[in-house]
Structure 1
């Protein structure tokens, strides 16, 4: 999802109404944008621990793509950004519908979250990755799983705010595009440089945490932490605008 692009949310066509596509055109565009679906599925699949079979995720993503085509009309240069949001939304909706995190996992995550808050109060600062691993007696693998779980929650929550920002039933009008673009620019300005890079690589270039970690020379868990912090800040800004 191209946060950095000036026309990131698409444009209406002609007199402001989407152009209706023929069945043949829909199939052509589905094939053309199928790699986008695969990239988003690959990205999300690494964060949901196989809760949905990858092939099933791709089918759900293709349905999101088809819905985007029918709402938007003939794709233009900005369609990919609009479609990305719809594809991700369709997959995240299905994950929520299936309650993809077992209750025991959710309860364990909440306990760890409370423990991290207590550690933060005790230290008087934001604990480092090593502080948390040592202070809570976690293995690096357990910490990684905790960060992925926390980040997945943040992503789902943030995407809901974005869905609300651009509307659910049609492609955004030029006025809505401008408002959302300005809100996102304002939200991005509130991030530090490294958080901006993580958000850009995750949403614009659709890289996985492992790929971002390799680029920035960080651990996967640290990338999760940065993404969660960035999305929290941006969500607060978007909700206030």
Structure 2
């Protein structure tokens, strides 16, 4: 669990030189240099999110939005250091997710179907007295593997958006916290991560720290994409509960 402290430190300390909360000033040449240096980070995050939102926004547009998020992160942070990547990742993801929400990326019919399936899974859980597995859900709700995968991706995309909101509220938006506040943020994140079992921790690590897609995580862990979605959903719900407490 060595990465637990690293994850907490990265988000808690991701404020760099802007200790007074002021907007950092870089020369245009420096901004261009940093944008080029961290452009691969934007591309990784866009690739990761693009696989979950069914082409709701054109990939090139997502990259442009991500670059705007990166630029805002640079101006808030100051000179990038070893923790800037984690800080920037949160801001880049936040910028893209904000645009997805603004455009109401989930059509009403998709939202209604998702709610219907969610209710069906809850009813099946009550009937079985435990959480059903993939096959039981597909059989009980008459879903094909493709339909089940689409349901899981839709559920996770919505949950990731809400979890990122909680993360951004936790680490703050406009000003850098003092040492005591940083310590509290770090401890909260470490506590949230420790609430997960080992496999859930690995999924969160690969998703947030290494920016892997569900398909890539599934290949590493030798699981189905749908099972990775389930693990990620369970992990984020646990972490949200801890962070919101």
Choose from 207, 212, 220 the match for 1:202.
Answer: 207
Choose from 17, 20, 32 the match for 1:13.
Answer: 17
Q: Give the match for residue 108 of structure 2.
A: 103
CA distance in 1, matches of 2:15, 2:66: 22
CA distance in 2, matches of 1:151, 1:98: 18
Q: Report how far residue 7 of structure 1 moved.
A: 2.8
Give the alignment of 1:40-119 within 5 angstroms: 40-119=45-124
CA distance in 2, matches of 1:3, 1:58: 29
Give the alignment of 1:1-241 within 5 angstroms: 4-5=5-6, 7-9=9-11, 10-13=14-17, 16=20, 19-240=24-245
CA distance in 1, matches of 2:68, 2:182: 24
Q: Report how far residue 129 of structure 1 moved.
A: 0.2
CA distance in 2, matches of 1:152, 1:235: 15
Report the secondary structure of 2:10's partner residue: coil
Structure 1 unmatched runs, 5+: none
CA distance in 1, matches of 2:42, 2:36: 10
CA distance in 2, matches of 1:178, 1:42: 32
Q: Report how far residue 189 of structure 1 moved.
A: 0.9
Residue deviations 1:148-195 (CA, integer Å, cap 9, x gap) = 000011100100001111112134544333222110110111111100
Q: Report how far residue 12 of structure 1 moved.
A: 3.6
| Number of positions where the alignment pairs a residue of Structure 1 with one of Structure 2 | 239
CA distance in 2, matches of 1:14, 1:118: 50
Q: Report how far residue 145 of structure 1 moved.
A: 0.2
What is the alpha-carbon root mean square deviation over aligned residues? 1.6
Q: Report how far residue 22 of structure 1 moved.
A: 1.2
Q: Are residues 4 and 142 of structure 1, via their aligned partners in 2, closer, same or farther at CA, if it must alter by over 3 Å?
A: farther
Residue deviations 1:182-234 (CA, integer Å, cap 9, x gap) = 10110111111100000000000000000000001100001001101100000
Q: Are 1:71 and 1:171, in contact at CA under 8 Å, matched by a contact in 2?
A: no
Q: Report how far residue 23 of structure 1 moved.
A: 1.4
Structure 2 unmatched runs, 5+: none
Q: Are residues 89 and 172 of structure 1, via their aligned partners in 2, closer, same or farther at CA, if it must alter by over 3 Å?
A: farther
Q: Are 2:16 and 2:84, in contact at CA under 8 Å, matched by a contact in 1?
A: no
